[in-house]
């Protein structure tokens, strides 16, 4: 059972608002670099890059920071997760990083991504933009820019689909599988 909480237009409006907020908070585009967490965070980062270009006429450097090798659950899962793209387009020393992800949940992915970033240099600031914040943080991590807050129960699933990958753009919440009652 799934419920669509954002359709493609709603996603687009949220990203437009986040782009404005980023420009407002940072007073322009100076020293900004947008890095998305693959897979969908990266595509969202590219969309933000485009939106900011539409508003300010500046194309910010954009890329991807893969958190896989820095995860804290590598010894627990059965299958090794596959490695994704790591693309840091310019030196991040002294830059302000806008990290982008699709869903903020426990916060562990963001912690891992920050550790990965720190191995590449010393940014002056890292700000976090997420499309969805679904609560249930296990670490003290906060998003600076949020597309939509969606309160969920832990058992539910929140999935972001993007046209670039999934053919359709939407955010859905899936109820947990109901157990089959024996008659």
Interface contacts to another protein, rule CB under 8 A: 66, 69-70, 74-80, 82-84, 86, 115-116, 119-121
Strands (E), 16-156: 32-36, 62-64, 96-104, 125-133, 145-149
Burial of 65 (0-12, 13-18, 19+ CB in 10 A): buried
Least CB distance from residue 115 to another protein, whole Å? 7
Between 78 and 155, CB nearer to another protein? 78
Q: In what order do the strands lie in the sheet with 32-36?
A: 62-64, 32-36, 96-104, 125-133, 145-149
Between 23 and 69, CB nearer to another protein? 69
Least CB distance from residue 120 to another protein, whole Å? 7
**Local structure of residue 150 (DSSP, 8 states):** -
Spatial contact of 141 and 124, defined as CB atoms under 8 Å apart? no
Between 80 and 182, CB nearer to another protein? 80
Least CB distance from residue 69 to another protein, whole Å? 4
Least CB distance from residue 51 to another protein, whole Å? 28
Between 1 and 76, CB nearer to another protein? 76
Task: State how far the Cα of 95 lies from the Cα of 75, in Å rounded to an integer.
Answer: 33
């Amino acid at each position: 059972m799934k419920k669509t909480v954002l359709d493609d237009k709603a996603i687009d409006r949220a990203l437009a608002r986040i782009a404005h907020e980023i420009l407002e908070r940072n007073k322009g585009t100076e020293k900004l670099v947008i890095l998305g967490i693959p897979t969908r965070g990266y595509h969202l980062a590219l969309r933000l890059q485009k939106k900011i270009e539409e508003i300010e006429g500046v194309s910010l450097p954009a890329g991807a920071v893969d958190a896989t090798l820095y995860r804290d659950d590598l010894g627990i899962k059965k299958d090794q997760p596959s490695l994704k793209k790591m693309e840091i387009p310019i030196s991040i020393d002294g830059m302000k990083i806008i990290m982008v992800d699709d869903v903020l949940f426990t916060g562990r992915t963001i912690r891992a991504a920050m550790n990965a970033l720190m191995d590449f240099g010393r940014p002056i600031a890292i700000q976090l933009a997420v499309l969805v914040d679904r609560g249930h943080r296990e670490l003290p991590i906060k998003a600076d820019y949020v597309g939509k807050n969606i309160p969920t129960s832990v058992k539910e699933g929140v999935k972001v689909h993007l046209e670039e990958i999934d053919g359709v753009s939407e955010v859905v919440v899936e109820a947990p599988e109901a157990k089959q009652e024996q008659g």
